[in-house]
Amino acid sequence: MWTFVNDKFQPREEATLPITDLALQRGYAAFDYLRTVNGIPLFIEEYIERLKNSATALRLVIPTENEWWVSRISTLIEKNKIPHSSGIRITITGGNAPDFYTPVAPNIVIDEHPLTMPGEALFNKGLHLFTYDYQRDLPAVKSINYLMAVWLQEAMKAAGADDILYQKNNIISELPRANIFLISDANEILTPDKNILEGITRKKIVENAASLGKVIKKPITTDALWQAKEIFICSTTKRILPVTTIDNRTIGDGQPGPITKALHEQFIIMENEIAAGKFQNI
């Protein structure tokens, strides 16, 4: 498998970074992650824009021309020739800091690996979420800081949960690697508006959802969870997955709801059309 480090393609097993890199020394780095379908990277321009926004927020200077990124990602896809679906992770580190503290010229790593998407069985079963009082630092930045999410894995598994939903002062925000939507009794499609990473999948759902209900971005309380008819999460690696239980309380009738199913079907059709060259991939 090939990877890309600082403008050089090389076998992954030969790829290295200096131990002085701030990603290793201080956990200071941004990244982004996109997916391919049959060798076609989905929504690549939007992922690149988000990556650039994260780098700017962390004061890391990187190439600003989208074509610079597209050409290297495309070359990596061609070299690896991964069938069906792959994940591509782009990491922008804080660089090789002589004082182990001050960001300098970043190291850039682009890596690709095979990716298996969630199947029908998981969709039909739905997810059980575990709520936790926490707010990510710099939530608009897709950083490599997953300290809390990793630390909570033991408690999450002990609770029989599949994932963690963050809330602060009874206002929900996001999951460690996903956004969340609620469907109200009035068929309003609700999603948190602050203290979140603006997901690309979330953005596409908002664009596609108008035919199914009014989309509202607003603060959402934990009490609203128990009043929702449907809840689902979304991300690059999950598409859309229903939530049927939160903190051992059943959501709606405990089954994936009709709006969740319709949005899921819409999304799969859209990505298949992109892969077939029938849809503008932006």
Per-residue confidence (pLDDT) for residue 276, from 0 to 100:
85
Whether 38 and 67 map to the same domain: the answer is yes
CATH number of residue 34's parent domain: 3.30.470.10
Task: Summarize pLDDT for 31-67 with one digit per residue, the tens.
Answer: 999 999 999 999 999 999 999 999 999 999 999 999 9
Q: How many CA atoms lie within 13 A of 244 on its CB side?
A: 11
Per-residue confidence (pLDDT) for residue 281, from 0 to 100:
54
Whether 22 and 152 map to the same domain: the answer is no
Single-letter amino acid, residue 3: T
CA dihedral 149, 45, 271, 72 (to 10 degrees): -90
Residue 235 belongs to a domain = yes
CATH number of residue 175's parent domain: 3.20.10.10
- Buried (b) or exposed (e) across 164-174, using 16+ Cβ within 10 A? bbbbeeebbbb
Q: Which of 114, 141, 170 is the last residue of a domain?
A: 114
Residue 152 belongs to a domain = yes
Per-residue confidence (pLDDT) for residue 277, from 0 to 100:
78
Whether 101 and 157 map to the same domain: the answer is no
Q: Which of 64, 99, 114 is the last residue of a domain?
A: 114
Neighbours of 134 (CB within 10 A): 15
Q: Which domain holds residue 84?
A: 2-114
CA nearest to 234, candidates 197, 273, 201: 201
Whether 187 and 237 map to the same domain: the answer is yes
| Per-residue tokens: 107 | 């190291």
Per-residue confidence (pLDDT) for residue 197, from 0 to 100:
98
Question: Which residues are 11's β-sheet partners?
Answer: 2
Per-residue confidence (pLDDT) for residue 280, from 0 to 100:
52
pTM reported for the whole predicted model:
0.95
Residue 279 belongs to a domain = no
Whether 57 and 181 map to the same domain: the answer is no
Q: Which of 84, 114, 144 is the last residue of a domain?
A: 114
Separation between Cα atoms, residue 255 and residue 141, nearest integer Å: 33
For the chain, list residues with pLDDT below 70: 278-282
Whether 247 and 125 map to the same domain: the answer is yes
Whether 141 and 209 map to the same domain: the answer is yes
Domain tally, the chain:
2
